[in-house]
Amino acid sequence: MRRAAFLLPLLFLGLARAPPAQTQVRRCVAANGNIVYTDRTCADLGATSALAPASPADGGSGGSVLRSMCARNVRDLAYGLESAIQSGDANRIASLYDWTGMPTSAAERLMDYFDRIATRTFVDLVPVYSSEDVAPAATPVPGTAAVPGTVPDPNALPAPSSPPSRRVVGLRVEQVLTDGHTPSQASFGVVKRMGCWWIRS
């Protein structure tokens, strides 16, 4: 696990590795108004404690800073996730995650998980669709509607129906372990928050 402290914009969680008893993620407002997450005290950064999140902004000074990437649709999110995994950088994967409401202990475990994903060989990224998608009912071909008192034409075919609306509800990462042949999968849900798309566990 990387030891550098991360100062991340809104929705990115700073996760420096420190002894468990001392680890606590704090949300702070820097002197320039930017929101940063850190395991240090806000005063160490010349910032004050933030009680509520604000709009995403570029990070302030100190540490490694990740700029927010707002995926405007699931396709952009999928592209960003694939690129992050292929880069082998767990921090880039973390920058696509919706950290809202996650406690520090769970966030640390998730960063360890991202580290493992970042070390594996990427194979494919597969969209996961909702199981509730249903094709619309077929409609009769124009001009074949039954006329009162007549027998419907048995050879009349229904008009082709529109394909079902397929809603992406997750992304599945296909990889192989470091042995080069054992398959591995990592699945994430997708969520839209503040106008951007993010991955979620």
85-117 pLDDT tens trace: 999 988 899 989 999 888 888 988 999 999 999
Least confident stretch, 12-16, 43-47, 49-53, 102-106: 12-16
**10: DSSP letter:** T
The CATH number linked to 81 is: 3.10.450.50
Among 27, 42, 68, give the residue marking a domain's end: 68
144 pLDDT more than 60: no
**Alpha carbons 50 and 29: distance in angstroms, whole number:** 6
- Look up residue 95 and give its amino acid: S
Residue 110 is predicted with a pLDDT of 92
46: confidence class by pLDDT, cuts 50, 70, 90: confident
30 pLDDT more than 90: no
165 pLDDT more than 50: yes
- Mean pLDDT value across residues 62-87: 77
Mean pLDDT of the chain: 73
137 in any annotated domain? no
27 pLDDT more than 90: no
The answer to whether residues 89 and 169 belong to one domain is: yes
Residue 39 is predicted with a pLDDT of 73
Q: How many distinct structural domains can be found in the chain?
A: 2
**71: DSSP letter:** B
Most confident of 64-68, 118-122, 141-145: 118-122
158: confidence class by pLDDT, cuts 50, 70, 90: low
* Residue that the structure tokens 């880039």 belong to: 92
Question: What's the first-to-final CA gap in the chain, in angstroms?
Answer: 20
Q: Is 189 left (phi over 0), alpha (psi -120 to 50) or beta?
A: beta
The answer to whether residues 63 and 91 belong to one domain is: no
Percent of the chain clearing pLDDT 70 (strictly above): 57
Tokens of 43: 């005063």
Among 68, 93, 111, give the residue marking a domain's end: 68
The answer to whether residues 74 and 114 belong to one domain is: yes
Q: Which long-range contacts (CB under 8 A, 24 or more apart) does 26-33 make?
A: 27/53, 29/54, 30/60, 30/61, 31/60, 32/60, 33/57
Residue 55 is predicted with a pLDDT of 34
The answer to whether residues 74 and 110 belong to one domain is: yes
Which tens digit of pLDDT belongs to each residue from 111-140?
Answer: 999 999 999 999 999 999 998 655 555 555
pTM given for the model = 0.55
Among 68, 102, 118, give the residue marking a domain's end: 68
The answer to whether residues 90 and 111 belong to one domain is: yes
Domain encompassing residue 8: 1-68
